[in-house]
Amino acid sequence: MINDHQMSDYLPTPESSRETATDSGSAPACDLLVEGGILVTLDDRRRVIADGSVAIAGDRIVALGRRADLGRFRASAGRIVDCSGKLVLPGLTDGHTHLFQILGRGLGDGMSLVPWLRHFMLPYSLNMNRETAVAAAKLGALQAALSGTTMVVDNHYAPTDTESTLAVAAAVEEVGIRGAIARGIFGGMNPGAELMGVPTDFFAWTDAEDLSITEECMAERPAGSLVEVWPCPENIVYVTPDIIEGSAQLAEDGGVRWHMHCSEARDEIGFFESVHADRPVSWLEKRGVLTHRTTLAHAIWLDPDEVAGMGAAGATAVHNPISNQYLASGVLHLDPLLSAGANVALGSDGVAVAGQDMFEAMKAGTLMHRVAHLDSTATTVEQFLELAALGGASMTGVDGGVLAAGRVADLVILDVDNIRHTPWNRPVASMVHSGRSGDVDMVVVAGEVIVEHGRSTRVDEAEVRAAASAATKQLFGEAQLTGLTRDWQ
């Protein structure tokens, strides 16, 4: 247990620690009172409050501060959770993942992006059906929840008919986390797709038909749903301008964001220029579709003008540091993007290339930029926590990423009473450098406890794993992927 001497370094001044809700003079409504933890608030003053409490009513935080100052909530609290010696964080967002890819865990290692797509992921994807996709999505969403992720942006592109897309959204909601199912849109075959070697089977619908299916899904899962549907032109290289412009318009009309792979690999820039005679982000800006609703996965190979354009638009670049190292794709221009005014969120890119653990992503990102710049001051642990929480909230439009009165009650509670966190000297540094998903004790989403004592309160883990294992056997036989499963490559 963390002792009083260790905690004393993080005691705030009385003025900065007082309860942030208005005192009504009587016991206020409180459904859940989380008390006694170390609160890493990420509020405007970036307070770290030892022996702190968070009061929740419905899906909102109604107050937080020192436990001694929130005692009046105890009388009305529907439930009180003792978090003494535990770390309480805002919810974390995985800004780019592929839940359906989880059945391919461990395959495709040692390939760069284009061969990885051609020889592994695209054949894998073409052989997914609704049943296997739902089994994979539920397993991926459960792993995300148990890892402290409260929202995922899931780029789903296998299969993408209306019923399958909505079934995947329902599977994510069943686990209890927030989600944006970014429905992968391909439209008709085009020159960029031929250059990338994308199989023609992916281009099953016309541009208009694919956009119409997306609109149908968005109507069923509109803005404000726990799990929304977003338009997602799959990759800027292998979709048409009409698909991109139509997706941006759907997002504007529906009040959501839109998502797309963009400038991930150096080769993609040449492919795009050969078709459009322009660089990808420059093209988006000139077409008028680069806005605050634009969320670009990877966005690595940008020139200075494109970085400036991202900043001027307030667009989001989703940084996937583990994936970018796994596929040797490159290093995001982190400081230039932030300095220009762009939003940067953090993503895992899914289990097929990462691990879906945002604690791993925070550590990997922190260290990646230090070695890339040969400068140990190039990043801080605080910066990467901000990307995972605040950057993700800004990207998705969720009123979270911070512990503050009035914000959504999305919390992650870590049990740091273990050997990896002893001695406990600096909370955020210990969490980023030594933390892992196994530290997650409790997860609260929209005021509901969806993980307790490291286990789901909503779904049976054994059943989810069994369904995923059965789906994997079926998929591997149909996709003929057994050549990738050798014990020693």
Mean pLDDT of the chain: 92
Q: What is the pLDDT of residue 317?
A: 99
Instruction: Name the maximum alpha-carbon separation found in the chain.
Output: 69
pTM of the model: 0.93
Q: Which of 140-149, 187-196, 398-407, 468-477 has the lowest mean pLDDT?
A: 468-477
H or E, element range at 70: none
DSSP string, 102-143: GGGTT-STT--HHHHIIIIIHHHHHT--HHHHHHHHHHHHHH
Does the pLDDT of residue 179 top 90, yes or no? yes
The string of pLDDT tens digits covering residues 377-396 is: 999 999 999 999 999 999 99
CA 35 – CA 346 distance, rounded (Å): 29
Give yes or no for a contact between 158 and 121, defined as CB atoms under 8 angstroms apart.
Answer: no
- Residue 432 near residue 380, CB atoms below 8 Å: no
Element (H, E) at 154: strand 149-156
* Token code pair at residue 455: 């286990």
pLDDT at 229: 98
CA angle, 66 then 67 then 72, to 5°: 115
Most confident of 127-131, 253-257, 482-486: 253-257
Which residues make Cβ contacts (< 8 Å) with residue 235, sequence separation at least 6?
Answer: 196, 260, 261, 262, 268
164-178, 194-208, 263-277, 471-485: which has the minimum mean pLDDT?
Answer: 471-485
Task: Indicate the residue type of 273.
Answer: E
pLDDT given at position 115? 83
Task: State yes or no: pLDDT of 76 exceeds 60.
Answer: yes
pLDDT at 484: 61
87 by Cβ neighbours in 10 Å (0-12 / 13-18 / 19+) ranks as buried
DSSP class of residue 390 equals I
Q: Indicate the helix (H) or strand (E) that contains 30.
A: strand 30-40
| pLDDT of amino acid 352 | 84
Average pLDDT score over residue span 133-151: 97
Residue percentage of the chain with pLDDT more than 70: 92
For 294-314, the pLDDT digits (tens) are 999 999 999 999 999 999 999
> Which phi and psi (to 5°) does residue 423 adopt?
-75, 155
Amino acid letter, 431: M
**CA 28 to chain centroid:** 34
% of the chain at pLDDT higher than 90 = 82
Q: Mean pLDDT lowest for which of 10-19, 342-351, 408-417?
A: 10-19
For residue 148, give the amino acid letter.
G
Across the range 410-423, mean pLDDT stands at: 94
